[in-house]
Amino acid sequence: MEKRELLVKGKAKSMYATDDPGCVVMHFRDDTSAFDGKKVEQLERKGRVNNIFNAFIMETLAAAGIPTHFVKRIDDRDSLVRRMTMIPVECVVRNIAAGSICRRLGIAEGTVLEPQTFELFYKNDALGDPMINESHIAAFKWASLEDVATARELTFKVNDVLKKLFLDHGMLLVDYKLEFGNCDGHVLLGDEFTPDGCRIWDAETREKLDKDRFRQSLGNVVESYELVGRRLGLNFD
């Protein structure tokens, strides 16, 4: 496999073409952003930690029967993934209230959400990723409603697998964001699953171990990501 030209530079990752038209390289950078790109910093080692973390989670999900774009980790910062047509929608599941739901609905952080909530956001930085529902996706032809139903079903399946995985290792999966794409007529989980796109708390102390450490300037951001990974059995040496 040969890595070729840069295709897209996102906020934390860059995508490169390869000599295989069906695959692209996902490169994890150290850039860390929050508040729609208003706060940006380079956090040493983060790209490498997230690449290793993401590979482990994607392989865990695939083993549980969830179709993903992930093919393999290539090296420290690169992974090979299937090329997809991305659905421009973020699927968010919340098990415990934190972040935007607290601001929007006046809910106290830490409130257990039973059953868990499911929300859709339109991926558009200029508009600040507004919340939408299925009717917007249909009206603006962002995806078929069948594909959205599949994405929703897979998002809940991910919750069953990962809520248990984190709890078994002393952590709470508070919430997370997933993105999906279409590849050869199949809906696959795309993008990444790392502490940049989810909230994870220590089950005992409720200490934040995710990107909220960066958003709220709590320090030890990458160290906390590594701690989560090590608890899951990963080695970042």
Q: Closest CB to ligand UDP among 105 and 149? A: 105
SS (H, E, C) the chain: CCEEEEEEECCCEEEEEECCCCEEEEEECCEEEECCCCEEEECCCHHHHHHHHHHHHHHHHHHCCCCECEEEECCCCEEEEECCEECCEEEEEEEECCCHHHHHHCCCCCCEEEEEEEEEEECCHHHCCCEECHHHHHHCCCCCHHHHHHHHHHHHHHHHHHHHHHHHCCEEEEEEEECEEEECCEEEECCCCCCCCEEEEECCCCCECCCHHHHCCCCCHHHHHHHHHHHCCCCCC
Phi, psi of 184 (to 5 degrees): 50, 40
Contact 193, 220 (CB under 8 A): no
Tell me if 99 contacts ligand UDP by CB under 6 A: yes
Q: Which is nearer to ligand UDP, 10 or 170 (CB)?
A: 10
Q: Which of 73, 199, 208, 213 binds ligand UDP (CB under 6 A)?
A: 199
Which 205-234 residues touch ligand UDP, going by CB under 6 A?
Answer: 211
Neighbours of 197 (CB within 10 A): 20
From the list 41-49, 64-72, 163-171, 196-204, the region that binds ligand UDP by CB under 6 A is 196-204
Least spacing, CB of residue 140 vs ligand UDP, in Å: 19
Q: Which is nearer to ligand UDP, 3 or 136 (CB)?
A: 136
Q: Which of residues 34-93 bind ligand UDP (CB under 6 A)?
A: 90, 92
In the complex, the smallest distance separating the C-beta of residue 95 from ligand UDP, rounded to whole angstroms, is 11
Distance CA 165, CA 168 (A): 5
Could you say which of 197, 213, 214, 225 contacts ligand UDP (CB under 6 A)? 197
Contact string 106-145 vs ligand UDP (x = CB under 6 A) = -----------------------x----------------
Contact between 162 and ligand UDP by CB under 6 A: the answer reads: no
Piece in contact with ligand UDP (CB under 6 A), picked from 14-22, 81-89, 154-162, 171-179: 171-179
The binder of ligand UDP chosen from 175, 189, 208, 221 (CB under 6 A): 175
The answer to whether residue 198 forms part of the interface with ligand UDP (CB under 6 A) is yes
Spatial separation of the C-alpha atoms in residues 117 and 133, rounded to whole Å: 13
**Residues near ligand UDP (CB under 6 A), total:** 13
Task: Kindly list the residues in this chain that would bind ligand UDP in the complex (CB under 6 A).
Answer: 90, 92, 99-101, 129, 175-177, 197-199, 211
